[in-house]
Amino acid sequence: MANTADWTSSGSEETRQGGGWAKYAAAGVVIVAAVILLLYTTTRGNAQFYLSVGDLRARGAEMLGKDVRISGIVVPDSIVYDAQTLHLEFSIVDREHPDQEPLRVVMEGEPLPDQMRDEAEAIAEGRLRSDGTFQAETLMMKCASKYEVEVKE
Amino acid sequence: MLADVGRVALVLSLVTAVYAAVTSIYGAQRGVQGAPWIASARNALIGVWPLLSLSTGVMVWLLVAGDFQVEYVATVSSRAMPTYLKVTALWGGQAGSLLFWAWIAATFAAVVMFRKWDEDRALLPYVIAINAVTQIFFIALVVFVETPFKKLPFIPVDGNGLNPLLRHPGMIIHPPMLYLGYVGFTIPYAFGMAALISGRLSDQWVRATRRWALAAWLFLSLGLVLGGRWAYDVLGWGGYWAWDPVENAALLPWLTGTAFLHSAVIQEKRGMFKGWNMALVIITYVLVIVGTFLTRSGVISSVHAFARSAIGPLFFGYIAIVVPFSLGWLIRRWDALRSEHRLDSILSREVAFLINNLLFVTITVSVLFGTLFPLFTEFFIREQITLRVGWYNQVVGPQLGALVLLMGIAPLLSWRRMSARRLGRVIWLPTLLSVLLIGLLVVLGHRSVGALIGFGITAFVGLTTVLEFWQGVRARHRARGEGYLRALNELIVRNRRRYGGYLIHLSIVLMALGIVGSTFYQQETQGALRRGETMTLGGFTVMYEGLEERQESSELLVSEATVSVYRDMEKVATLKPRRDYYPVYQQSTTIPAVRSTIGEDFYIILVGWERVSHDQATFKIYHNPLINWLWAGSILLILGTLVAGWPGRGEQVAYSMAYRPRAILAEKPGSV
């Protein structure tokens, strides 16, 4: 039996798409164009800056009132929480620059996150207020799932 | 020491995998004389499994026995943990989970080696090589970078133990399911690449891996659902999906994998879409690696944290090799992947599948775009810009809606061509009923456009899918006189792939119902209640009765509130939301209490309480309509997949323990 590698075409004359392939391509282009348009319009309305604490401080004036996402480490002994009014306050510093001035974060209406504690990592979305505090709309704590802590002797 | 045995076995497994990779390629180059080399490579690939099993087994033993001098054990295990949790701690940290990943890869590869290779001998060496290289990468990570058997210079008295958040059945099964799904897609990829490299581009590779792809898909689906369920049960934010980068990482290969499963049908039935299928299987594998990279490298900010490590760049390097390699071969063989037929008409099942592929790809690109957006902006404008969670719903929602709608129309379309008139005849009733349903909802006061469209599409697809079953049953009943129930059974059993598939479609309909209900109609509220006080939400009234604090075990303190739930003046449930506190870890987990029915979930979280007197407590409540259809749908999904993948009567068993290298050696030169 001859060594027939069957990666040559099967020999049928129909192996090319017929002349009508243009309309399928057109339909495909329409779908893709619609999706691109969707992406474009939605992105404009949903973009938010992702800044470090230091960056936000430095650009404070221009960032006032803008929708921003920040992340940082919770400063020890800075957590204040009132379970009745669901008012939460804490300070965060940059993971990379813990010696810089911390930022006070205020959050209303949400239960204290389980992972909220000293030195946990927080991601907050919201706006910088004129009094220098950060008003958070959403607050996410890093899930400690693979957060491997140093083993103590 | 036992840990040393584990490490040695690990290193040996790496050496064996390298041997398998090298000899398989060498054997492939040598043509017929290469047969003994390929046989040796096959044995080596099988041999990786016992070595890795020994290594993994040792690690599990160390975790259970509590050998805290081993750093990994000290990090994730502890004396007080129950034994079953100590076992699951294997995947509780980076190094252990990578070892587990490698072991699963070795298991699947070994099983594939026991296949009857008589018809695919040309593919074998490359299947071995691809699997071996994948294993080499992961085992090398574990041998050189994230070393699970590393010892500490001292012996700690006790380990840290698993984070309390991970001590939940969902968290226990969810990672293994994901890994099984991820690793499972390596097999179709290996076969696809083998077909490309060897030039054997018939659809044999697609047929051979159909059940593997289906199984991988099932595990990945379950992993996704379990992750969502766990988040819902334990994390207390009333939701199940947050479009977090790590969640997206698991979703991306699922999307292209689903597309592949569908598109493969066209290749088998009509010899078309060969290029698509090859591209899809390659992209799925690449997305598996990208997903693993995104999850473990910390390159994108996510709430799922992993300790930072050097493996990020290494994953990136692996991707940088795999992508050009795979695409290179795809381009080289592109001509041979031409369709055997062309599309005959826009109204045809083939075109529906084409649009299906296209939509899955656009959704994949959308999710990838959103996930990587901060990286792009950082690179191009030196500013990290992220996208709010709402972006995903707005972008992906409509595309998913279109996809589900397609799911309802495609089964109605004939192969090759269908007249609009004929389509109209089958489609008018479900369409009419769905439109009537939307009208009814509007009359009842529903105004959300998204919800109305969502319910309309869900109803439409549910109806058309049930119609498929009905028509099949009626045909059997008329033709053979079978009773309806018997006809249904026979219908499914004799066409497992098709009707199993339709069952899965039905499950998606149920899940869509749950998603539409819980997304568009969720309500929430919170407040502080004194004993006997009430608050209302979604037609329910909840009254605070009291709170109890107790020592549940040596490491667990439980604070449990009791609330009564009423509806229309009648008591319907007593719920006990609680807070579990682990003093040793200073970690508390808030466990919601939920009343679940077909119609909705009433979900309550204990937020705070007055010390000592417990006179007052603060709660947050969610009302999630229809959400249980999501979980019910996932159960049907499992059933449907089992039906679709079950070996049928008359199908030849394709696996055998015997492998006959002599048959290869006896081949005359020049024979295929």
**Other C-beta atoms within 10 Å of B655: how many?**
11
Report the C-alpha gap between B576 and B546 in whole angstroms. Answer: 10
Tokens in use for B289?
């690696």
- Which of chain B's residues have a Cβ under 8 Å away from the Cβ of A149? 75, 160
Provide CB contacts within 8 A for B483, sequence distance 6+: B477
A2-11, A39-48, B269-278 — which is least confidently predicted? A2-11
Q: How far apart are CA B462 and CA B431, in angstroms?
A: 11
> Among all chains, which residue has been given the structure tokens 């999850």?
B295
Where along chain A do its domains lie? Answer: 21-46, 49-141
Q: What is the DSSP string of B232-245?
A: IIII-SS-S----H
Contact B463, B502 (CB under 8 A): no
Residue B20 near residue B168 (C-beta atoms within 8 A): no
Q: 3-class SS at B525? A: strand
Question: Is residue B69 within 8 Å of residue B159, measured between CB atoms?
Answer: no
| % of chain A surpassing 90 pLDDT | 24
Searching chain A, which residue's CA lies closest to the CA of residue B618?
A84
Which strand (E) or helix (H) includes residue B576?
none
Residue B27 backbone dihedrals phi, psi, to 5 degrees: -60, -40
Between chain A and chain B, the number of residue pairs with CB atoms below 8 A apart is: 194
**8 Å CB contact of B303 and A86:** no
- Residues of B within 8 A of A44 (CB-CB) are none
Across the interface, do B200 and A112 touch by the CB < 8 Å criterion?
no
Beta bridge partners of B6: none
Distance from the Cα of A17 to chain B's closest Cα (Å) equals 5
CB B94 to CB A117 under 8 A?
Answer: no
Q: Which helix (DSSP H) or strand (DSSP E) does residue B309 occupy?
A: none
Strands (E), B219-324: 304-306
Interface touch B671/A21, C-beta < 8 Å? no
What is the distance in angstroms between the Cα of A130 and the nearest Cα belonging to chain B?
22
Give the distance, in angstroms, between the CA of residue B112 and the centroid of all CA atoms in the same chain: 21
Q: Is A55 helix (H, G, I), strand (E, B) or coil?
A: helix
User: What is chain A's mean pLDDT, rounded?
Assistant: 79
Chain A residues close to B301, C-beta within 8 Å: 50, 71, 123
DSSP B300-352: S--SEEE---THHHHHHHHHHHHHHHHHHHHHHTGGGG--SS----SSSHHHH
Tell me whether B367 touches chain A (CB under 8 Å): no
Contact B236 A114 (CB under 8 A): yes
Q: Can you name the residues that pair with B506 across neighbouring β-strands? A: none
> Residues B605, B458: contact at Cβ < 8 Å?
no
| Sign for the pseudo-dihedral over CA of B24, B28, B29, B35 | positive
Token digits of residue B459: 């109803």
Query: Given an 8 Å threshold on Cβ–Cβ distance, is B399 in contact with A15?
Result: no
User: B15: which 2 tokens?
Assistant: 């050496």
- Name the minimum distance, in Å, from the CA of B71 to any CA of chain A: 8
| 3-state helix, strand and coil shares in percent for chain A, rounded to the nearest 5 | 25, 35, 40
Instruction: Quickly count: other Cβ atoms within 10 Å of residue A153's Cβ.
Output: 9
Chain B residue numbers with beta carbons less than 8 Å from the beta carbon of A46 are 387-388, 390-391, 394
**Count of Cβ atoms closer than 10 Å to residue A111 Cβ:** 22
Q: Please, which residues have CB within 8 angstroms of residue B43's CB and are 6 or more apart in sequence?
A: none
Nearest by CB to residue B385, choosing from A8, A49, A144, is A49
* Residue B178 tokens, joined: 């994901």
Q: Cα separation of B233 and B589, whole Å?
A: 11
| In the predicted structure, residue A55 carries a pLDDT above the cut 90 | no
Q: CA nearest B388 in A: which residue? A: A46
| Of B149, B169, B251, B262, nearest in space to B214 by CA | B262
Across the interface, of B154, B366, B384, the residue whose CB is closest to A50 is B384
Distance CA B491, CA B499 (A): 8
Confidence of residue A58 (pLDDT cuts 50, 70, 90): confident
Q: What is residue B672's predicted lDDT score, i.e. its pLDDT?
A: 37
**Subunit contact A148:B366, Cβ cutoff 8 A:** no
Letter string b/e over residues B425-457, b meaning 16 or more CB atoms within 10 A of that residue's CB: ebbeebbeebeebbeebeeeeeeeeebbbbbbb
The secondary structure of B621-635 as a DSSP string is EEEEETTHHHHHHHH
Identify any residues that bridge with B547 across adjacent strands, giving them in sequence order.
B561
B200/A5 Cβ within 8 A: yes
Backbone angles phi, psi at B619, to 5 degrees: -130, 155
d(CA B121, CA B203): 15
Asked if B618 is an interface residue toward chain A (Cβ–Cβ < 8 A), one would say yes
List chain A residues with CB under 8 Å of B159.
Answer: 151
On the question of pLDDT at A11 being above 70, the answer is no
Query: Which helix or strand (DSSP H or E) is residue B575 part of?
Result: strand B570-575
Query: Which residue among A5, A9, A146 places its CB closest to the CB of B338?
Result: A9
Query: For residue B655, what is the DSSP state?
Result: B
pLDDT at residue number B651: 52
**Cα distance from B93 to chain A (closest Cα, Å)?**
5
Give the bridge partners for B570, in sequence order: B567
Q: Does A6 contact B200 at a Cβ distance shorter than 8 Å?
A: yes
Whether B588 and chain A come into contact, CB under 8 Å, resolves to yes
Nearest to B325 by CA among B282, B291, B389, B361: B282
For residue B200, give the nearest of A10, A1, A4, A13 by alpha carbon: A4
pTM for the model stands at 0.90
Mean pLDDT of A37-57: 87
The reply to whether residue B366 touches residue A35, judged by beta carbons under 8 angstroms, is yes
Closest-CA distance, B271 to chain A, in angstroms, reads: 10
What are φ and ψ of residue B12, in 5° steps?
Answer: -60, -40
The DSSP output letter for B115 is B
| Nearest chain B CA: its distance from A103 CA (Å) | 19
Judge: A117–B586 Cβ closer than 8 Å, yes or no. yes
The answer to whether the Cβ–Cβ distance between A17 and B301 falls below 8 Å is no
Length of chain B: 672
**What average pLDDT score do residues A12-29 get?**
66
- The C-alpha atoms of residue B589 and residue B587 are separated, in whole angstroms, by 7
* B47 in contact with A, Cβ within 8 Å: no
Which residues, numbered 190 to 219 in chain B, qualify as contacts with chain A under a Cβ-Cβ cut-off of 8 Å? 199-202
Listed by number, the residues of chain A in 37-76 with a beta carbon closer than 8 Å to a beta carbon of chain B are 38-39, 42-43, 46-51, 67, 69, 71
Q: Which of A6, A7, A146 sits opposite B93 (nearest CB)?
A: A146
Q: Which residues, given as ranges, of chain B have pLDDT below 70?
A: 303, 305-309, 649-672
Q: Does B330 touch chain A (CB under 8 A)?
A: no
Within 8 A by CB and 6+ apart from B250, the residues are: B178, B181, B220, B223, B224, B227, B291
Between helix B169-184 and helix B274-297 the angle, nearest 10°, is 140
CATH fit for domain A49-141, picks 3.40.1160.10, 1.10.10.10, 2.40.50.140, 3.40.50.720: 2.40.50.140
Backbone angles phi, psi at B534, to 5 degrees: -130, 160
Quote the CA–CA distance of B467 and A2 in Å, as a whole number.
50
DSSP β-bridge partners for residue B30? none
For residues B320 and B36, give the distance between their C-alpha atoms in angstroms, rounded to a whole number: 33
User: Which of A94, A115, A123, A146 to mutate to probe the B interface, most B CBs <10 Å?
Assistant: A146
DSSP symbol at B65: H
> Quick one: pLDDT at residue A5?
42
Name the average pLDDT for chain B: 90
**Inter-chain touch B587–A8, beta carbons under 8 Å:** no
Rounded to a whole number of angstroms, the distance from the CA of B339 to the nearest CA of chain A is 6
Question: For residues B68 and B60, is the Cβ–Cβ distance under 8 A?
Answer: no
| Alpha-carbon gap, residue B315 to B297, rounded angstroms | 8
In this predicted structure, the answer to whether residue A91 has a pLDDT above a threshold of 50 is: yes
Query: CA-nearest residue of chain A to B358?
Result: A28
| Whether ipTM exceeds 0.90 | no
